[in-house]
Each structure stands twice: as structure tokens, then as C-alpha cells.
Chain A
Amino acid sequence: MLSIKNLKAGIEDKEILKGFNLEVKAGEVHAIMGPNGSGKSTLASVLAGREDYAVTDGSVQFLKKDLLEMSPEDRAREGLFLAFQYPVEIPGVSNINFLKTALAEIRQYKGLPPMEAKDFLKRVKEKQALVELQVSLANRSVNEGFSGGEKKRNEIFQMAMLEPVLAILDETDSGLDIDALRIVANGVNKLRAPERAFIVITHYQRLLEYIVPDFVHVMYNGRIVKSGTKELALELEEKGYDWIKKELGETIEA
């Protein structure tokens, strides 16, 4: 489904991704871990199409199409979803209007007729329950006045509404308490399906106790330096990232 080959990208002359490779197949859950500054969030941004980043080399195929050639909206319409690390507050744009517009444009892209209002509202209700998001979405602006936990749950709720093929969760666990973490993970697990893949970017192993990955990759200095199964995450938790750095023969930073 997703094939990233030798991806090099950066921001303002600073190269952050330095030859990144990853293959993701339908139904798989990949976790990407790594210390701060290793390029995890840059990877998410480049895949979602954030224009601040320049790709200098490599390729990304998504469903056999060149992802890097597409606008951010077309990536989303093709089925890519990024759960933001810092969801944006958009005063004046109601959650419902936002989702309605997004769904309508995605459906139009796919040549589907607009969704009936009744079906749309039913879906909203159903998916809100999935992430235990109790706020009234009709009267509130996108993420405005939401707590940190509500914002993250709103990301998973949007994911459930849009039913992507590939979801990238960028540090969705950061800033969540243990209950919120369980709710978010629960929502993700309910969305796991044979046709859907996930890339879970996280700093800590904790989230992976709830969302059990098929593969764990350790990212360091702009590329994957070690891959394994879920046991790798436990090993990392135990030994810390310095272990990886040592293994790579690098000096430990103070």
C-alpha cells in the first residue's frame, strides 16, 4: 500500500530525513519510535504534504500512485489520514460543517453522491461514541476550547468519520492521561481492519501496550536503524535510546 524508498527531505537547507525506507501492507500496524529530533514528525508532515518541507530525493508510492505529486487534499481523498500531534483550533468553523465539507469533497473525488443528512448525523453519533467524545460538535468550532484529551479524541473521531486506508498517528499519546490513552487506543483498535493500515509514531512504549503493532521501527538521525516486532519496543523501554546509539557506535549526547 505504502512504499517509501530512500526518502530525503528537509526544511530550509537542513536535511532531516536522510534516506528513509519503509514498506507498509494493508492490515498492518507499524510503530515508529525514536528519540526527539530523529525525524518522526517530519516524516508524518512530508507524507501528509506539508509545504514547508522540501523533498530532495527518493520516492513514495501510495496505492501505486506517486504520493509526493499530490496536493494535501488529494492525499486525504486517496485515503491518507494524519492525526495531528498538535490539532489546530479554528474559531468560527463548526466541527459539523467542517466534517460535512470534508466528507462531501472526498465523496465527490471518488465519484460518489453526497451523503444524506440523516446518514451523516447517524455516523457522527456512532463515531463520537467510539471515542467517547461527549462535546456537542454542532455548536462548537473545530477544536476551540477543547482540552488536550478532547483534541486527540477529536482526531480519532475524524479518522473514524473519514475511514482512511492509511492512518498516521503522530504522537497521539502525548499529553494524554492513562484513561484518555485507553479511550484513544480503543478507538484505533476498533478501526483496525484487513484493508486498513496504521503508522503509529510514538516516543514511549506505553501506547503500544494498547495498540499492539505488527512491526516496530527505531528511527534515528533521519532513517530507520533497527526494525523488529513488538518485543523491540519493550527492549527500548528497558534499555533506553542510548542503547541504540551505542550500538550504532555513536557518542552519547550529554
Chain B
Amino acid sequence: MTNIAEKISPGDKLIAELELNQDSLTGSDVIRSTRRNALKSFSKQGLPARKSEEYKYSPVNRLFQKELSFVTASPVSDEKENSFALAGLDASVIRILNGVVHIPVSGFDSATCAAWSLKSLPKEELSFFENHFAHYALPDTDPFIALNTAAFQDVLIIKIADGAALAKPILIQNITDSTHASFTQPRIFIHVGKNASVEIIEQFASTKKEYATVCNAVSEIVVESGAKALFYKLQNDCAGLQLISTTQVYQHHDSHFDTHTVTFSGSWTRNNLNIVPDGEHCETHLNGLFILNEEQHTDNHTLVDHRKPNCESNQLYRGILKNKSTGVFNGKIYVRPDAQKTNAYQSSKNMLLSDDASMYTKPQLEIYADDVKCSHGSSTGQIDEEALFYLRARGISADSARILLMQAFAKDVVNTIRIEPLRKEIELLIEKRLAN
């Protein structure tokens, strides 16, 4: 008996568990049907194989060496949650614990913003939700999107009213109890209404520095016409986490989406950031910063799919890699035949501080329109020895000089963070991470 069990691949085991549990999972008929289709899609795709182009530098087999179950651990205690607070940040806080949404009783002004878990979603909002859910993050495009869509336990739904300008940022704490061999599937849907303006921070955190849990998070964000959304993803305090995080963004005309992906901890991280500006005059900024230590692995995959004319996208990624860490940047830009007058830029610069660290960079520009301005640049190098000597020749120790130079390197990205308390917090975190 055990022999047979051992032969089943991790992907097939996941399918078997999901097939057993399909009936007990939440959702309306429409959502259940979406779940079933997603499961079929995953059955077809399976977990990415070693030769998979999309996961070439981030083989996922190590995530599934331990037997994982969709059954999650008991929710994290309150005491633990509070330790992930960001100093000086006044925000409306929502927590997702092991994929289950906990909405605070107060803190939201219902006139401008509503937040629900799938279970608490009012009946009159159901069709609105069904009209969007899984319409952007398509199960057929990625096996982890398919898995999340088939297996999610709950959805955090945030709806920003048309024309609303939120005074406070929304902080979503996505917390995973990393002590159990579970496979969590947090799911978020954010709808930013026409001409609305919002700042959202998604913070990933885990309870312990153990590598048992895998978190597969999917967020869908719709930015309606004329709206402006700032979205910060902060991966800190999650040393034990193995994370696949997909953010799928759909922009309507004249909208502005500005995002930062900041990765400091997490033993293995894959960020999929897919943005579709599907209307004229959209502006999109993708910024990323990662500082890796020990044997950390971080893979940033970005995709900007320009479909309409007169849009601009700008990507700025900086990475600092220490010890035996590995970084990946794969930046894909599509400019479709209709997307004339597109301006698309991409810059990825990385600094290797050890001979054992590696960085893989792959820009992919596919341009089908003829009147566009697109460029990309990437570089991977060491610390500038001339600058280091100059600083030391003025009495600054080699260690402090290195930190000054690395801070300067990260500054290109840090300076673009608009929420001041968050920027200050990140500056402190950078200093701390660089010093050890």
C-alpha cells in the first residue's frame, strides 16, 4: 500500500485531495463552477516541470518535497499578529490568517470603501463579484493561479467607491502559520472605482522560521478609468515562508497603477506581477527591491501587456544579493499591434556581494506596433571599488562605506515610495539587513 502511495506525484496528490473536498468549499454556483474548471485546468497543467520555461530558474519541486495538505493550522493568536505592525503607519488593517479573512469591526468608512470576506459578502454584491472573480487571473495561464482558484478557502473583497479618495492606506496583513506542512491559498479581489484614489499595502508575514508551509497567494486588482492605485507588497517578517504570490492587475483608460515589490525575507519567493493596461492613457509603474541573504531565492516575473495606444509603463528593479542567495528577474513587455505610441521602459540592476550569489536576468520585449518607444537595461555587478576607496580615504570604515553604497544603490527605488512612514520603515529595514 505505502509503495503505491509513494508513487503518486505531489501534483496528483493535490488533485486527489481537492476532488474529495470540492463539495465542502465555499461559494455560489457560479463560483463553484469556476472552481471545478480551475481544477480541471490544473489537472491538465500539473505542477511546473523542471523544463518549464516559466519556472526554469525557480524549480518548484523543493516546495513539494514534504507532503502538503490544504488543511491549514489553527489561526494565529492575536499576540503574534500584532508583532507585524509597521511603526508609525496609520492604516486600516485587515488580516488574512492562513488564507482566512478577518475583517475588523471598525476602521472603514463605508461611504468610500467596503471590505468583506466571501462569507460576509452581502447578497446584492454577489453578481458584482461574480462578474469579476477569476476574470483577470486566468487559471489556464499558470498552474498556481489554477490551484488557488480551485482551492481557496476565502476571498478578501475590497471595493473602493467611485470618486473616493481614501485618507488612510489599507494594510492587508497576509499571515501564514509556517509550522505546519500546509498549502495555503489566500485570495484577494480589489476593485478601485472610477476616479478613486487608494493606497494599499500587502504585507506578507509568517510565524516561525521553519520551511514547512507553502503559501500560494493570488490577488486580482481592477483599476477603473481615471482611478489611481498605489500598491505596495512588503515581504518581511516571513523568514520561514515559501511563497508564490501572483498579482494580476487590469487597468481601464486614464488610470494610474503604481506598485512596489519589496522582498527582504522568505526562504523561497516567486512574485508574478501581471499588468494589463487595457485602455488609452494608462500609466503604470513597477518598482522592485530585494535584499537577499543566506540561501534565499527570489524570483520577480513581470508582465506588462500593452493593448491600447498612448500608454506608459516604467519598470525599475534593484537587487542586492549576499552569501549563497539567488535572484531572478524576468520582465516581459508585450506591445500589441493597436498599442501605438506606447512608452515602455525597464531597468534591472543588481549587486552581487559574494562569489556564491547568482542573478539571472531576462528581459523579453515583444513589440508588434511600429510607433513606440521601448527600452530595457540590465546590469549585474559588484560594489564600486573606486567609490569604496574614496569613502575609506575620508575615514569611513570599510563596513560603513559598503552600507552607504548599498543604501545609495537601493535609493533609486526607495525614493519612489510615496507613503512616508512606509518609506522610513523600509529605510530602517534596509539598514538592518545590510548591517548583518
Contacts of A90 in B (CB 8 A): 384, 387, 390-391, 405, 408
In the complex with contacts A88-B386, A88-B387, A90-B391, A98-B397 CB distance below 8 A = no
Contact A92 B409 (CB under 8 A): yes
**Is B405 a contact of A98 with CB atoms below 8 Å?**
no
Q: Nearest residue in A to B410 (C-beta to C-beta)?
A: A92
**Which residues of chain A have C-beta atoms less than 8 A from B389's C-beta?**
50-51, 72, 88
Taking a contact as CB atoms closer than 8 A, the residue among A49, A51, A73, A141 that contacts B396 in the complex is A73
Q: Which of B388-407 contact A (CB under 8 A)?
A: 389-398, 400-401, 404-405, 407
Shortest Cβ distance from residue A34 to the other chain B in the assembled complex, whole angstroms? 23
- What residue of chain A has the Cβ atom nearest to residue B394's Cβ? A102
Q: Is residue B370 contacting chain A, with contact meaning CB distance below 8 A?
A: no
- Docked pose: A99 CA to B390 CA in angstroms: 12
Residues of A within 8 A of B404 (CB): 93, 97-98, 101
Q: Given the known inter-chain contacts A84-B390, A92-B407, A93-B404, please indicate yes or no for A101 contacting B396, CB distance below 8 A.
A: yes
Taken residue by residue from 92 to 110, chain A's Cβ proximity to chain B (1 for < 8 Å, 0 otherwise) reads as: 1100011101110110010
Instruction: Given A90-B405, A92-B408, A141-B408, check contact A98 B393 (CB 8 Å).
Output: no
B382 CB to closest chain A CB (Å) equals 14
Which parts of B404-428 form the interface with A (CB within 8 Å)?
404-405, 407-409, 411-412
CB contact list, A110-164 vs B, under 8 A: 141-142, 158, 162
Q: Enumerate chain B residues within 8 angstroms of A71, measured Cβ to Cβ.
A: 392, 398
Output the nearest chain A residue to B412 by Cβ-Cβ distance: A92
Residues of B within 8 A of A165 (CB): none
Tell yes or no: A76 within 8 A of B by CB: yes
What is the CA–CA distance of A26 and B384 in the complex, to the nearest angstrom? 35
Of B389, B391, B393, B409, most buried by chain A (CB within 10 Å of CB) is: B393
Q: How large is the interface on B (under 10, 10 to 19, 20 to 34, 35 or more residues)?
A: 20 to 34
Q: How far is A84 from B391 in the complex, measured between Cα atoms in Å?
A: 12
In Å, the complex CA distance between A84 and B395 comes to: 14
Contact call A73/B397, Cβ cutoff below 8 A: yes
A91 within 8 Å of B (CB atoms): yes
A162-B408 CB under 8 A given contacts A50-B389, A88-B386, A90-B387: no
Question: Is A82's beta carbon under 8 Å from chain B?
Answer: yes
CA distance A128 to B392 in the complex (A): 22
Residues of B within 8 A of A76 (CB): 392-395
Interface string of A79-93 (1 = CB under 8 A from B): 000101001101111
Docked-complex contact B390 and A88, CB < 8 angstroms: yes
With A91-B408, A141-B408 as contacts: A162 and B394 at CB distance below 8 Å: yes
Q: Is A162 touching B409 in the complex (CB atoms < 8 A)?
A: no
Residue from A48, A73, A106, A142 having most chain B Cβ neighbours under 10 A: A73
Residues of B within 8 A of A93 (CB): 391, 404-405, 407-408
- Give the nearest-CB partner of B411 in chain A: A92
The reply on A203 being an interface residue by CB < 8 A is no
Q: Mark A49-87, 1 if CB is under 8 A from B, else 0.
A: 111000000000000000000011101110000101001
Complex: A211 Cα to B389 Cα, angstroms: 27
Distance to closest chain A CB from B237 (angstroms): 26
Given contact pairs A92-B409, A93-B405, A98-B404, A105 touches B390 in the complex (Cβ within 8 A): no
Complex contacts, B390 vs chain A, CB 8 Å: 84, 87-88, 90, 142
B residues in contact with A92, CB < 8 Å: 405, 407-409, 411-412
List B contacts of A142 (CB < 8 A): 390
User: In the complex, which residues of chain B have a beta carbon less than 8 angstroms from the beta carbon of A97?
Assistant: 404
The answer on a CB contact under 8 Å between A77 and B387 is: no
CB distance from B404 to the nearest CB of A (A): 5
Q: How far is the CA of A72 from the CA of B394 in the complex (A)?
A: 8
> Would you give the shortest CB distance from B398 to chain A, in whole angstroms?
7
Q: Is the CB of B405 within 8 A of A49?
A: no
Determine which residue in A77, A84, A101 has the highest number of CB atoms from chain B within 10 A of its CB, and name it: A101
Min Cβ gap A145→B in Å is 15
How far apart are B234's CB and chain A's nearest CB, in angstroms?
22
Whether B408 pairs with A73 at a CB distance below 8 angstroms is no
Residues in chain B near residue A87, CB distance under 8 A:
390
User: What is the chain B residue whose CB lies nearest that of A89?
Assistant: B387
State the Cβ distance, A150 to closest chain B Cβ, in Å: 16
Give B287 Cβ to nearest chain A Cβ, in Å: 15
Q: Given contacts A90-B387, A93-B405, could you give 12 more A-B pairs where the C-beta distance is less than 8 Å?
A: A71-B398, A73-B398, A73-B401, A76-B392, A90-B391, A92-B409, A93-B391, A93-B407, A97-B404, A98-B391, A101-B404, A103-B395
Binding site for B on A (CB under 8 A): 48-51, 71-73, 75-77, 82, 84, 87-88, 90-93, 97-99, 101-103, 105-106, 109, 141-142, 158, 162
**24 sample A-B contacts, Cβ–Cβ < 8 Å, listed by A number:** A51-B389, A71-B392, A73-B393, A76-B393, A77-B395, A84-B393, A88-B386, A88-B389, A90-B384, A90-B390, A90-B408, A92-B405, A92-B407, A92-B408, A92-B411, A93-B404, A93-B405, A93-B407, A101-B404, A102-B391, A105-B395, A109-B395, A141-B408, A162-B394
